[in-house]
Structure 1
Amino acid sequence: MPPVEKDAGKKELKSRIQELIDSNQVMVFSKSYCPFCVKVKDLFKELNVDCNVMELDLMENGTNYQEMLLEMTGQKTVPQVFINKTHVGGCDKTLQAHKDGSLQSLLKGENEAFEYDLIVIGGGSGGLSCSKEAASLGKKVMVLDYVVPTPKGTTWGLGGTCVNVGCIPKKLMHQAALLGSAMEDARKFGWEFDESVKHNWETMKTAVNNYIGSLNWGYRVSLRDKNVNYVNAYAEFVEPHKIKATNKRGKETFHTAARFVLATGERPRYLGVPGDQEYCITSDDLFSLPYCPGKTLIVGASYVALECGGFLAGLGLDVTIMVRSILLRGFDQDMANRAGEYMEEHGVKFIRKHVPIKIEELEAGTPGRLKVTSKSTESDEVVEGEYNTVLIAVGRNACTDKIGLDKAGVKVNPKNGKIPVNDEEQTNVPHIYAIGDILEGKWELTPVAIQAGKLLARRLYAGAAVKCDYINVPTTVFTPMEYGACGLSEEKATEFYGQDNIEVYHSLFWPLEFTVPGRDNNKCYSKIICNKLDNDRVIGFHYLGPNAGEVTQGFGAAMKCGVTKEQLDGTIGIHPTCAEVLTTLDVTKSSGGDITKAGC
């Protein structure tokens, strides 16, 4: 065939294919014997959707059609599915589109000109992770992040709670407190210094905040480099595919997207008593507080309460913690109480079974003076106390109540604002997903949000199938004596498997670093919980001692691999370290045997 005729024939074929695509709501190019084509045709039958099917293997010039489709779509194989003139793709992509709701949108003709492929609401760890990954996969992505100021007027930059008012400043201030202890130990190791040692809050606060500022800037640069459109504005749904964005000057813009990811995180809860919002601070305010807080009352027994109380005491402040019921709810109670006892032995005062009923200002200042009236949870006893600062750390609320989720049809747990999702982080509205701290029944941890966000983007846009694993997530509470954990608490293990089917191996220990200064002999503690029904597999790991995060991370990997007691026993420890105690555990809790350590 002469080149001119051949070109004309191709042009005509392309035009014929385009006409089929344009004139049918659903057009499927198929082969009658292909199992993937059968799957797709069956799906449309189930959905009661009429589709025009062209079986290329039953046509004389079917090969030409397939070659032209390759030229038009870049896809070699069949089926090739088109809905309302949009090329969906092959079998996997059609099934995925059905799963995530975009197929239904296309069938309704809702594919018209969404401004973005993905809008992420929330610029914390999860939102940033998801948005950057989606953008790197070639999608048009917007991130909206807006920090509503605290009642004290505190606000911060891009990066979410962890970077600005959570893990990062917390760990740095915890480190400042550890350095105070290290200086006390240093004299016993031969270091001589005569000048009086004191801590300067302003120096620490400025250094910590300067570092956080560098992280905020780094995130902005990273989003720009990935071509993610970052907007500092408050996002609120007005329709299922449309949001309103309001910036700090009150200017409103509207944006649409095919999909949304909710990553709004949480903010500290207040007490709901007179004076709480007027006179108290939360962890949202503490890390950039422009003055030393002085004598401090911390209300709550969460990890935030104990961590903040611990490092403030370590900086030399007078600290009292008011506890309503138990320490570290949700964590192993044996470990929680040991961490609390250590704090009490090192100068932190505890008021137990009490709740504040009123906070009054006696004197304004930086800090001022406050009067706190509290009531016993067990009697009519009322106690009054004076403090310079009151820090509330009684838990956090999901930031989901003011983003128009009702207009998008997203179901929320009315009790706590958390969002139920399936195992792919999908809400009840197929094109809206949620990750991070706002998820119902999932870990409220930064690395979890990062992992979930990245894997979600890969499933949505790279055809991946890997889901976030929320089991055996290692974590650490940075109390003065750090507590690392992975897997089940002793209470949960007993509840799941029964007391007779678990074995707890435990030991006290004395870090070598503590021996010369002569402190905290046998105050550190570790235990593992094993499942007797499954080859003594380790189902709970708990460690109270120095560098708990570093120790727990490695054992977390071992638990991910299904480590057993026998394998731990077969592991040679590194001497002299704290972590080696986990390789030599031989006393069971049930035996009542002595677990104190004497020497190496």
Structure 2
Amino acid sequence: MEKFDVCVIGAGPGGYVAAIRAGQCGFKTALVEKAFFGGTCLNVGCIPTKTLIAGAEVYASAKHAADFGVEISGEVRADWKKMLARKDEVIGKLRNGIASLLKSAGVTVFGGRGEFLSRRQLMVAAGEAAGTVIEADKFIIATGSDPLVPGFIPKGDRILTSTELLSLPKLPKSLLILGGGVIGCEFACLFAELGVEVTVVEMLPQILPQTDGECAKLLAKQMAGKGIRILNGTPLTDIRCTARGVSGKVGDETLKADYLLVSIGRKPVTADLNLPAAGVKTDQRGFIEVDDSFRTSAPNIYAIGDAVGRIMLAHWASAAAGNVVNTLRGKPEEFTGALTPGCIFTSPEIGTIGKSEEQLRSEGVAYNVGKFPFAALGKAMAMNQTEGFVKILADAESDQVLGIHIIGPHATDLIAEAGPAMLMEITAKELGRAIHAHPTLGEAMMEAAHAVHGECAHMPTRKKR
């Protein structure tokens, strides 16, 4: 048996950050991981997806080089195998980086699957350290999630989750996607850019159902312009899989493709932890129940990240990790998870934070709107990326910014400004007064803030009397 102050289970963006921070704070820390450092995000999620998307963007730029006065002779084509090799190289470098950080923080790593014996003891039940019993004063569960594949989906080599799709050895000619959420739309844009015929089926009335309606509508229009077919409001039924392809029905129409991507949600990785032995409660879906400090029903055990089923984003998990470690060191802080930015790496990108118009209307909140299109921005015109806008929602009485929604070039980077601004309860007037450098894409944020009060100099507005 080995004894520690803190034992973290899972080395994803929540777990490895928790372990590093605990080690930095002087806790004797153990980390148990059954697969690879970085979890879903680094290995089969955020990083590999964005690496492939970056390759597709370079390919798209090369195809349109003539628009910038650059002539490319010869054939421009995407080499999928080389893109996959680059993806694996990026993953490997980041894994090694995490290993180095854990070592520098003095964290002891145990390879294997953790299984609770009691509230204070965990056995490594499989892997390199199988049979090791770890005793700790505090535990942090950060075991993440896996793709959800409902029982009505048949099994077959041509029915994939995002995990398998990221390592598909050859580009298919056609791809059918079940689910028009973030994952489905990102993969749709990626594969369509590479010449794959893509169809997305979303049973709800719009794609990205949790996203600002205007952003979702514009994205759907842009996706259609890239040849992506989107079928909303009707489920995919009668799904079949053969050795040569897949098929399914939307209403009376039969759809066929080389592969089916199932992207309709994720499930927690908690079933094999033996949580009852530790007195840790879960809900009916297996997500761990926690309070506002991420403490579970067992007072010495905390849970963060996808395993708690709140906001299933890597940066939310990392922030929660730091919050828990601060609690353990006797310096608790309020967790600001409500202001977690959402980033969608579609084409165009979407960045969002705070309330949407749909939410504000449903809550009966009076608000003002300021919008500024990238088409009116000099830097966007220079880049030849003018689609989209920045939208700012401000409380009608106090002028406090309640939500910011961006669709357009580098939206996932631009939304970063909104986080600290809204954390400080900034008003639209204050955001507009902040001088933004010219010529940059960031000017759109300032212009949208001015537009909240009809004071945008670069948009036609009615003269005030």
TM-score where L is the length of structure 2 = 0.90
- Asked whether 1:486 is paired with 2:336, we answer no
CA–CA separation in structure 2 for the residues paired with 1:464 and 1:577: 39
Counterpart of 1:333, as a letter, is: G
CA–CA separation in structure 1 for the residues paired with 2:444 and 2:393: 15
1:372 to 228, 247, 251: 247
Give the direction of change, closer, same or farther, for the CA distance of 1:469–1:520 in structure 2 (3 Å limit): closer
Structure 1 residue aligned with 2:274: 404
Structure 1 residue aligned with 2:402: 539
Counterpart of 2:295, as a letter, is: Q
Counterpart of 1:126, as a letter, is: G
2:133 to 254, 277, 280: 254
Question: What SS class does the counterpart of residue 239 from structure 1 fall into?
Answer: coil
Structure 2 residue aligned with 1:121: 9
Structure 2 residue aligned with 1:555: 418
CA–CA separation in structure 2 for the residues paired with 1:578 and 1:132: 35
Shift of 1:220: 2.2
Question: What SS class does the counterpart of residue 422 from structure 1 fall into?
Answer: coil
Shift of 1:207: 0.8
Shift of 1:466: 2.1
User: 1:217-228 to 2 correspondence within 5 Å?
Assistant: 217-228=96-107
Counterpart of 1:530, as a letter, is: A
Structure 1 residue aligned with 2:254: 384
Counterpart of 1:164, as a letter, is: N
CA–CA separation in structure 2 for the residues paired with 1:543 and 1:595: 17
Structure 2 residue aligned with 1:446: 314
Q: In 1, are the aligned partners of 2:63 and 2:76 still within 8 Å (CA)?
A: no
- Which of 1 and 2 has higher RCO (CA within 8 Å, sep 6+)? 2
CA–CA separation in structure 1 for the residues paired with 2:368 and 2:438: 26
Shift of 1:336: 1.7
CA–CA separation in structure 2 for the residues paired with 1:212 and 1:345: 32
CA–CA separation in structure 1 for the residues paired with 2:146 and 2:393: 34
Shift of 1:253: 3.4
Q: In 2, are the aligned partners of 1:158 and 1:219 still within 8 Å (CA)?
A: yes
1:296 to 158, 166, 175: 175
Question: What SS class does the counterpart of residue 507 from structure 1 fall into?
Answer: strand
Structure 2 residue aligned with 1:455: 323
Shift of 1:278: 4.7
Give the direction of change, closer, same or farther, for the CA distance of 1:114–1:125 in structure 2 (3 Å limit): same
User: 1:399-548 to 2 correspondence within 5 Å?
Assistant: 399-414=269-284, 416-440=285-309, 442-460=310-328, 462-498=329-365, 501-510=366-375, 512=378, 515=381, 523-534=387-398, 536-548=399-411
Structure 2 residue aligned with 1:234: 113
Shift of 1:114: 7.0
- Asked whether 1:347 is paired with 2:227, we answer yes
Question: What SS class does the counterpart of residue 456 from structure 1 fall into?
Answer: helix
Give the direction of change, closer, same or farther, for the CA distance of 1:201–1:512 in structure 2 (3 Å limit): farther
Shift of 1:589: 11
Q: Deviations over 1:81-133 (max 9, x none)?
A: xxxxxxxxxxxxxxxxxxxxxxxxxxxxxxxx972222211110111111122
CA RMSD of aligned residues (A): 2.6
Shift of 1:212: 0.3
Structure 2 residue aligned with 1:305: 184
- Asked whether 1:328 is paired with 2:208, we answer yes
Q: In 2, are the aligned partners of 1:270 and 1:277 still within 8 Å (CA)?
A: no
CA–CA separation in structure 2 for the residues paired with 1:295 and 1:479: 19
Aligned length: 455
Shift of 1:373: 1.7
- Asked whether 1:186 is paired with 2:73, we answer no
Shift of 1:315: 1.8
CA–CA separation in structure 2 for the residues paired with 1:289 and 1:223: 32
Give the direction of change, closer, same or farther, for the CA distance of 1:448–1:520 in structure 2 (3 Å limit): closer
Question: What SS class does the counterpart of residue 272 from structure 2 fall into?
Answer: coil
Q: Deviations over 1:444-503 (max 9, x none)?
A: 22122112212322321x3222243212222211111011111111111223343xx211
Structure 2 residue aligned with 1:162: 41
Question: What SS class does the counterpart of residue 96 from structure 2 fall into?
Answer: helix
Shift of 1:512: 4.3
CA–CA separation in structure 1 for the residues paired with 2:91 and 2:323: 26
Question: What SS class does the counterpart of residue 273 from structure 2 fall into?
Answer: coil
Give the direction of change, closer, same or farther, for the CA distance of 1:430–1:554 in structure 2 (3 Å limit): same
Structure 2 residue aligned with 1:110: none
CA–CA separation in structure 2 for the residues paired with 1:114 and 1:248: 17
CA–CA separation in structure 1 for the residues paired with 2:3 and 2:306: 28
Shift of 1:335: 1.5
Structure 2 residue aligned with 1:133: 21
Q: In 2, are the aligned partners of 1:506 and 1:589 still within 8 Å (CA)?
A: no
For structure 2, which runs of at least 5 residues remain unmatched after alignment? none
Q: In 1, are the aligned partners of 2:203 and 2:236 still within 8 Å (CA)?
A: no
CA–CA separation in structure 1 for the residues paired with 2:271 and 2:353: 32
Shift of 1:417: 2.1
Shift of 1:577: 3.1
Counterpart of 2:28, as a letter, is: K
Question: What SS class does the counterpart of residue 285 from structure 1 fall into?
Answer: helix
Q: In 2, are the aligned partners of 1:279 and 1:359 still within 8 Å (CA)?
A: no
- Asked whether 1:570 is paired with 2:440, we answer no
Counterpart of 1:408, as a letter, is: A
Shift of 1:193: 1.5
Shift of 1:204: 0.4
Question: What SS class does the counterpart of residue 237 from structure 2 fall into?
Answer: strand
Structure with higher Rg: it is 1
CA–CA separation in structure 2 for the residues paired with 1:135 and 1:277: 44
Shift of 1:248: 4.1
Give the direction of change, closer, same or farther, for the CA distance of 1:238–1:280 in structure 2 (3 Å limit): same
Q: In 1, are the aligned partners of 2:38 and 2:95 still within 8 Å (CA)?
A: yes
CA–CA separation in structure 1 for the residues paired with 2:32 and 2:350: 35
Structure 2 residue aligned with 1:211: 90
TM-score where L is the length of structure 1 = 0.71
